């Protein structure tokens, strides 16, 4: 449910960007957000479809009925919950802000008396990019737990560095599952940002040159791209329901780190719980009707006392990424590393957050006998 405070859009598309307090469910709590809506030409939101959130202020901190949003005389835009506590602000105190506006690109902006931009939502991305939105070095997209739970899931992020665009899992060390580097013929080229332009996701360098990273169909209505909880970067045409997986040129179905959930193996796009070579299973499907939710343990997992440890070897299994200094070791050396040194902790962390920890053609995990 939503009712816009500010509405900005083009009547030719019957679409608009709006910002207000938005709820998805029983409406006991609300998200301060910018969203795409359909409107009837006079500024009222039509009930044709569900608004699509493309930005929010502190999305893990929902507010209740009685919340206030105030542009303070000292320049801060402040969101206060019903009990008066500050839930979010632009941190623009003493910046001489005199004006607030939502432009038709979906960018909420604060201006000073000289019309200079003091703050804009485009500089604080969440999990989505809209047309003309840039993702700069130091910024990142981070997914939400689910479509209805906006809590930040910090496990996967999409970011830009001087070499290109990267999607990675935040293990220790981080593990990349998508990387698009700059042109190999000129190592001096540094990419400053990627931008969602009409027809492509493009990279822009320090020489102001650009290269198309991913081709995208021309916009027929409002378009946005979203980093989903499954690790996919998907482009949506909001009004006509068209969508496209933008990583498909880089990855197959089983190349996504969270495609099958925890403790599950992906083969030819299908998910299954792992079993030992003698047919014994230590896992069961969380929900048979939803295999992407992963598997749960039939026995407690404990990697404490060494006498209670064993390693289950699964043959012909690979991982989406490797810890570099473990890439070329054999199974015996890997088991020893797992048992004796810090790499065991790194692999154990990966196992718990993603699936099973694998090295080369072996998948190894600790289980309680």
Residues 247 and 287 both lie in one domain: no
Predicted local distance difference test score (pLDDT) of residue 205? 79
Predicted local distance difference test score (pLDDT) of residue 11? 43
Q: Has residue 306 been placed in a domain? A: yes
Q: Has residue 356 been placed in a domain? A: yes
Last residue of a domain, one of 108, 123, 138: 123
Is the confidence at residue 65, as pLDDT, over 80? yes
Residues 279 and 172 both lie in one domain: no
Q: What is the 3-state secondary structure (H, E, C) of the chain?
A: CCCCCEEEEECCCCEEEEEEEECCCCCCCEEEEEEEEEECCCCCECCCCCCEEEEECCCCCCECCCCEEEECCCCCEEEECCCCCEEEECCCCCCCEEEEEECCCCCEEEEECCCCEEEEHHHCCCCEEECCCEEECCCEEEEECCCCCCCEEEEEEEEEECCEEEEEECCCCCEEEEEEECCCCCCCCCEEEEEEECCEEEEEECCCCEEEEEECCCCCCCEEEEECCCCCEEEEECCCCEEEECCCCCCCHHHCCCCCCECCEEECCEEECCECCCCCECEEECCCCCHHHEEEECCCCCCCCHHHEEECCEECCCCCCCCHHHCCCCHHHHHHHHHHCHHHHHHHHHHHHCCCEEECCEEECEEEC
In the chain, the number of structural domains is 3
Of residues 339 and 110, more confidently modeled: 110
CATH number for 43: 2.90.10
CATH number for 233: 2.90.10.10
Of residues 303 and 168, more confidently modeled: 168
Of the listed ranges 153-157, 202-206, 298-302, the least confidently predicted one is: 298-302
Phi–psi pair at 347, nearest 5 degrees: -70, -40
Per-chain mean pLDDT for the chain: 76
Of residues 34 and 41, more confidently modeled: 34
Q: How confident is the model over 190-206, as a mean pLDDT?
A: 84
Q: Has residue 261 been placed in a domain? A: yes
Last residue of a domain, one of 251, 267, 283: 251
Residues 106 and 137 both lie in one domain: no
Is the confidence at residue 308, as pLDDT, over 70? no
Q: Has residue 171 been placed in a domain? A: yes
Residues 134 and 229 both lie in one domain: yes
Predicted confidence band at 248 (pLDDT cuts at 50, 70, 90)?
confident
Q: Has residue 1 been placed in a domain? A: no
Residues 239 and 261 both lie in one domain: no
Q: For residue range 211-242, what is the model confidence (pLDDT) as tens digits?
A: 788 888 887 778 899 998 888 999 988 777 78
Q: How confident is the model over 335-358, as a mean pLDDT?
A: 47
Q: Has residue 114 been placed in a domain? A: yes
Q: Has residue 202 been placed in a domain? A: yes
- Is there a cis peptide before residue 173, judged by omega within 30 degrees of 0? yes
Residues 167 and 259 both lie in one domain: no
What is the pTM (predicted TM-score) of this model?
0.78
Residues 138 and 243 both lie in one domain: yes
Q: For residue range 250-281, what is the model confidence (pLDDT) as tens digits?
A: 888 888 888 888 888 888 888 888 876 666 67
Last residue of a domain, one of 123, 150, 179: 123
Q: Has residue 229 been placed in a domain? A: yes
Of the listed ranges 86-95, 134-143, 289-298, the least confidently predicted one is: 289-298
Residues 247 and 276 both lie in one domain: no
The neighbouring-strand residues paired with 176 are 168
CB 213 within 8 A of CB 193: no
Is the confidence at residue 304, as pLDDT, over 90? no
- Taking the C-alpha atoms of residue 2 and residue 5, their distance in angstroms, rounded to an integer, is 9
Predicted local distance difference test score (pLDDT) of residue 362? 30
Residues 136 and 242 both lie in one domain: yes
Q: How confident is the model over 357-368, as a mean pLDDT?
A: 32
Task: Count the Cβ atoms, other than its own, within 10 Å of residue 126.
Answer: 24
Look up tokens 């105030």; give the residue. Answer: 70
Instruction: Supply the range of the domain harboring residue 27.
Output: 6-123
């Amino acid at each position: 449910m939503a009712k816009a405070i500010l509405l900005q859009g083009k009547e030719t598309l019957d679409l608009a960007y709006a910002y207000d307090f938005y709820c998805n469910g029983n409406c006991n709590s609300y998200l301060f957000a910018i969203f795409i809506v359909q409107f009837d030409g006079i500024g009222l939101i039509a009930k044709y479809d569900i608004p699509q959130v493309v930005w929010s202020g502190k999305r893990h901190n929902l507010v209740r009925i009685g919340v206030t949003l105030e542009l303070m005389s000292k320049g801060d835009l402040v969101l206060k919950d019903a009990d008066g506590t500050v839930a979010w602000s632009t941190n623009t105190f003493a910046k001489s802000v005199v004006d607030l506006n939502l432009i038709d690109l979906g960018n909420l902006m604060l201006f000073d008396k000289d019309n200079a931009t003091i703050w804009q939502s485009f500089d604080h991305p969440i999990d989505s990019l809209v047309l003309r939105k840039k993702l700069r070095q130091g910024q990142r997209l981070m997914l939400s737990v689910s479509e209805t739970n906006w809590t930040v899931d910090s496990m996967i992020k999409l970011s830009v560095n001087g070499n290109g665009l990267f999607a990675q899992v935040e293990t220790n060390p981080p593990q990349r599952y998508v990387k698009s580097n700059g042109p190999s013929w000129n190592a001096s080229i540094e990419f400053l940002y990627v931008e969602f332009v009409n027809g492509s996701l493009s990279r822009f360098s320090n020489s102001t040159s650009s290269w198309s990273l991913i081709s995208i169909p021309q916009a027929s209505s409002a378009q946005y791209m979203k980093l989903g909880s499954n690790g996919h970067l998907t482009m949506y045409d909001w009004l006509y329901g068209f969508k496209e997986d933008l990583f498909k040129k880089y990855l197959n179905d089983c190349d996504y780190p969270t495609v099958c959930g925890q403790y599950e193996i992906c083969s030819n796009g299908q998910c299954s719980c792992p079993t030992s070579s003698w047919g014994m299973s230590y896992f069961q499907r969380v929900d048979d009707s939803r295999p992407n939710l992963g598997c749960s343990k039939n026995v407690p997992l404990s990697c404490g006392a060494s006498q209670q440890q064993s390693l289950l070897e699964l043959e012909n299994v690979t991982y989406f990424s490797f810890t570099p200094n473990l890439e070329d070791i054999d199974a015996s050396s890997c088991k020893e590393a797992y048992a004796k040194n810090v790499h065991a902790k790194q692999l154990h962390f990966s196992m718990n957050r993603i699936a099973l920890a694998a090295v080369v053609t072996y998948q190894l995990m600790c289980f309680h006998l």
